[in-house]
């Protein structure tokens, strides 16, 4: 009860007016000139002390520009913002997505069958496991060739059609876990309404060996339905209308929509409105992942998610990975003025991980008003971006090292290569680069050091590295389904904690609506046979006229 009263009271108070926020502002001012090399010189045990471990992931945050006092003040702020009670509320299924009046219960998607979480009198964990069971049966049938196409051929190609949360998780997980996938099956992902996406994904494929998974929570998304219709036409042209039942399955919450499209609801895998799109890769939306790696390894991925959930729920803030990552992100964003955050996985299989995180973080925390609708007078979510190392080192790292902006980095690496001992020396080289980059960013190279190398005076300033550029390093033993699950859950929960502190709804996405509405109106204008009466601004009108004049050369 006290928590509820505090929560309500707490949310009425402006964040920047809180004494804890102001203490952090003052503290940041006092630390403005403090250098990472000074901290390391003063604290010989810093590198090991400023670290935490959970669910198989080790976080080194010693190269962040913080001291013990900083962390204490950040935790004070989290407490003042009732983070702990909001976390508890999320875990028990309260409607933490308050603008849509829904729970955000992705933690239920990986809860063991022995647990129960009630939503409106229904145990959702039991429902989750019933769907997992059906997914497992189906995935096994596709993998062992029992599920056949309309002509009796086994399935060789699986194409996921979906967009946003119904695409980014599946494609990221497939790439990340390719090593564990059945190489007899090829996977494709079609998301863009640009017709070339579907064309390229199906080029050269035999429709008789191709299975489409149409993934759409709402089953109303324009891009997905357009591509799904293109897929159906492609299939029917080769195999006839009766083939649809053998070549299409759906993942959705909308059984009517699935039926209307022509997919048998026996071949539909459901989920629930309490699963947000960007939090859904471990629901039935992960069907392609399960077909790729098999139900047992999919279960290991869920175990990894769950291990991080438990760590997050039960560990004090000082040792809690998602909490620490969130507080460090707030520190860099709101008190050191960093407006972006680079995610740099030293694992080529994680090449789609930054894109996945872009949605998770920016759709969640790209918000401009607080819970009560008041404009935020502080920055909310930073821009997340990134590329795998070492490739990025040969392009944008220049700016990270010597640019004028502060770009905090999350380095992600694994201690063991996937290729076994044969790959070890090349993997050592990869990881040497990761460690070298975070060291170079933190400690730089002084003018005196540059001069001592014999560099001429006119060139010397160009070769100086200021250092003092903060980073986290995340290490796991090996990229496995389990460690991937833990890594994703780590970021999911970090995003939520940041959103609680900023007092925003991390689970809605109203910002994607306006463009969709305008596109609907514009589409008919582009193709109109009569000259349309354009009533946009003069720029949009001129662009539409130019497009119409050139769109169909004959
Ligand atoms: C994610 C968003 C959004 C959504 C897509 C696809 O959190 O809600 O990215 O996943 O718009 O929606 P459907 O799954 O309904 O097609």
- What is the Å distance from ligand 1's center to 254 Cα? 13
Question: Please, which residues have CB within 8 angstroms of residue 187's CB and are 6 or more apart in sequence?
Answer: 157, 158, 159, 160, 174, 181, 288, 291, 292
Question: Please, which residues have CB within 8 angstroms of residue 20's CB and are 6 or more apart in sequence?
Answer: 73, 76, 77, 80
**Closest ligand 1 atom to 363 CA:** 7
- What is the Å distance from ligand 1's center to 509 Cα? 9
CA distance 519 to 496: 31
Q: Are 336 and 65 in contact (CB under 8 A)?
A: yes
Residue identifier of the C-alpha nearest atom 2 of ligand 1: 277
Residue 486, token pair as written in the block: 């833990």
pLDDT at residue 110, rounded to an integer: 98
Mark whether 53 is an active-site residue: no
**Closest ligand 1 atom to 285 CA:** 14
pLDDT at residue 12, rounded to an integer: 52
- What is the Å distance from ligand 1's center to 94 Cα? 22
**Closest ligand 1 atom to 221 CA:** 16
Residue identifier of the C-alpha nearest atom 16 of ligand 1: 216
Pocket test for ligand 1, best of 97, 163, 189 (most atoms within 8 A of CB): 163
- What is the Å distance from ligand 1's center to 542 Cα? 31
Q: Which residues have any ligand 1 atom within 6 Å of their CB?
A: 163-166, 216-218, 221, 224, 276-278, 363, 509
Q: Are 21 and 435 in contact (CB under 8 A)?
A: no
pLDDT at residue 4, rounded to an integer: 42
Length of the chain in terms of residues written: 554
CA distance 507 to 364: 6
Question: Concatenated DSSP letters for 381-419?
Answer: SPEEE---TTGGGGTTHHHHHHSSS---EEEEEESS-TT
Instruction: Find residue 154's DSSP bridge partners.
Output: 148
Neighbours of 325 (CB within 10 A): 23
CA distance 166 to 487: 19
Task: Please pick, among 48, 394, 457, 513, the residue that the annotation labels catalytic.
Answer: 394
**Closest ligand 1 atom to 164 CA:** 9
Q: Is 215 helix (H, G, I), strand (E, B) or coil?
A: strand
pLDDT at residue 420, rounded to an integer: 81
- What is the Å distance from ligand 1's center to 180 Cα? 27
> Nearest 5 degrees, angle CA 20-CA 381-CA 347?
115
Mark whether 516 is an active-site residue: yes
Q: Are 327 and 71 in contact (CB under 8 A)?
A: yes
**Closest ligand 1 atom to 224 CA:** 16
Mark whether 38 is an active-site residue: no
CA distance 448 to 79: 45
Neighbours of 459 (CB within 10 A): 9
Instruction: Find residue 342's DSSP bridge partners.
Output: 385, 409
Residue 439, token pair as written in the block: 């060291």
pLDDT at residue 10, rounded to an integer: 45
CA distance 392 to 386: 8
Pocket test for ligand 1, best of 104, 170, 221 (most atoms within 8 A of CB): 221
Task: Please pick, among 363, 387, 492, 525, the residue that the annotation labels catalytic.
Answer: 363
pLDDT at residue 1, rounded to an integer: 36
Pocket test for ligand 1, best of 100, 165, 359, 366 (most atoms within 8 A of CB): 165
pLDDT at residue 554, rounded to an integer: 75
- What is the Å distance from ligand 1's center to 163 Cα? 6
pLDDT by residue for the chain (554 residues), tens digit each? 344 434 444 455 799 999 999 999 999 999 999 999 999 999 999 999 999 999 999 999 999 999 999 999 999 999 999 999 999 999 999 999 999 999 999 999 999 999 999 999 999 999 999 999 999 999 999 999 999 999 999 999 999 999 999 999 999 999 999 999 999 999 999 999 999 999 999 999 999 999 999 999 999 999 999 999 999 999 999 999 999 999 999 999 999 999 999 999 999 999 999 999 999 999 999 999 999 999 999 999 999 999 999 999 999 999 999 999 999 999 999 999 999 999 999 999 999 999 999 999 999 999 999 999 999 999 999 999 999 999 999 999 999 999 999 999 999 999 999 988 889 999 999 999 999 999 999 999 999 999 999 999 999 999 999 999 999 999 999 999 999 999 999 999 999 999 999 999 999 999 999 999 999 999 999 999 999 999 999 999 999 999 999 998 87
**Closest ligand 1 atom to 162 CA:** 16
Shortest CA distance to 159 belongs to which of 195, 209, 228, 212?
Answer: 212
pLDDT at residue 387, rounded to an integer: 97
Pocket test for ligand 1, best of 105, 161, 217, 219 (most atoms within 8 A of CB): 217
- What is the Å distance from ligand 1's center to 356 Cα? 13
- What is the Å distance from ligand 1's center to 512 Cα? 10
Residue identifier of the C-alpha nearest atom 11 of ligand 1: 164
Neighbours of 120 (CB within 10 A): 8
Question: Concatenated DSSP letters for 236-302?
Answer: HHHH-GGGHHHHEEEEES-HHHHHHHT--GGGEEE--TTS-GGG-TTSGGGHHHHHHH-HHHHHHHH
Task: Please pick, among 199, 318, 516, 523, the residue that the annotation labels catalytic.
Answer: 516
Sheet with 409-414: strands ordered across = 51-54, 57-60, 471-476, 409-414, 340-345, 383-385
Question: Concatenated DSSP letters for 433-451?
Answer: HHHHHHHHHHH-B-HHHHH
- What is the Å distance from ligand 1's center to 164 Cα? 5
Pocket test for ligand 1, best of 162, 164, 220, 359 (most atoms within 8 A of CB): 164
Rg for the chain (alpha carbons), in Å? 25
Shortest CA distance to 379 belongs to which of 504, 531, 253?
Answer: 504
Q: Is 513 helix (H, G, I), strand (E, B) or coil?
A: helix
């Amino acid at each position: 009860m006290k928590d509820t009263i505090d929560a309500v009271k707490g949310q009425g108070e402006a964040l920047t007016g809180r004494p804890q926020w102001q203490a952090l502002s003052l503290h940041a001012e006092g630390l403005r000139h403090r250098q990472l090399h000074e901290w390391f010189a003063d604290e010989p045990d810093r590198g090991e002390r400023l670290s935490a471990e959970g669910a198989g992931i080790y976080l080194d945050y010693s190269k962040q520009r913080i001291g013990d006092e900083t962390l204490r003040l950040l935790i004070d702020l989290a407490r003042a913002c009732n983070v702990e009670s909001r976390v508890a509320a999320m875990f028990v299924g309260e409607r933490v997505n308050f603008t849509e009046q829904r729970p955000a219960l992705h933690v239920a998607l990986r809860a063991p069958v022995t647990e129960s979480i009630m939503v409106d009198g229904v145990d959702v964990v039991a429902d989750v496991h019933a769907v997992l069971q059906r997914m497992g049966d189906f995935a096994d049938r596709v993998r062992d060739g029992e599920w056949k196409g309309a002509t009796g051929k086994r399935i060789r190609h699986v194409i996921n059609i979906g967009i946003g949360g119904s695409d980014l998780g599946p494609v990221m997980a497939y790439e990340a876990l390719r090593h564990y996938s059945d190489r007899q099956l090829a996977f494709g992902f079609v998301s863009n309404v640009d017709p070339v996406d579907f064309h390229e994904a199906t080029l050269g494929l035999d429709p008789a060996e191709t299975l489409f998974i149409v993934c759409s929570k709402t089953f109303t998304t324009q891009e997905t339905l357009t591509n799904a219709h293109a897929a159906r036409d492609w299939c029917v042209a080769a195999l006839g209308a009766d083939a649809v039942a053998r070549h299409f399955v759906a993942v959705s919450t909308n059984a009517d929509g699935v039926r209307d499209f022509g997919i048998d609801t026996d071949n539909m895998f459901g989920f629930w409105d309490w699963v947000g799109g960007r939090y859904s890769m471990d629901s039935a939306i992960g069907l392609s992942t399960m077909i790729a790696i098999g139900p047992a390894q999919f279960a290991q991925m869920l175990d990894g998610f769950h291990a991080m959930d438990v760590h997050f729920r039960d560990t004090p803030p000082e040792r809690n990975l998602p909490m620490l990552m969130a507080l460090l992100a707030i520190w860099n964003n709101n008190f050191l003025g960093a407006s972006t955050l680079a995610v740099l996985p030293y694992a080529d299989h994680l090449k789609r991980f930054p894109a996945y995180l872009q949605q998770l973080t920016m759709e969640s925390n790209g918000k401009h008003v607080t819970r009560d609708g008041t404009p935020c007078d502080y920055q909310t979510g930073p821009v997340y971006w990134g590329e795998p190392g070492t490739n990025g080192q040969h392009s944008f790292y220049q700016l990270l090292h010597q640019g004028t902006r502060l770009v905090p980095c999350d380095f992600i690496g694994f201690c063991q290569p996937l290729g076994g001992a044969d790959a070890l020396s090349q993997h050592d080289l990869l990881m040497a680069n990761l460690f070298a980059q975070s060291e170079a960013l933190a400690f730089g190279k002084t003018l005196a050091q540059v001069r001592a190398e014999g560099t001429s005076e006119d060139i010397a300033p160009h070769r100086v590295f200021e250092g003092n550029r903060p980073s986290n390093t995340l290490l796991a033993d090996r990229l496995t389904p389990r460690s991937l699950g833990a890594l994703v859950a780590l970021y999911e929960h970090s995003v939520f904690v940041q959103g609680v502190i900023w007092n925003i709804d991390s689970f809605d996405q109203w910002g994607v609506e306006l463009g969709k509405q305008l596109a609907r109106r514009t589409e008919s204008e582009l193709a109109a046979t009569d000259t349309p009466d354009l009533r946009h601004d003069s720029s949009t009108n001129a662009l539409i006229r130019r497009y119409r004049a050139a769109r169909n050369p004959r």
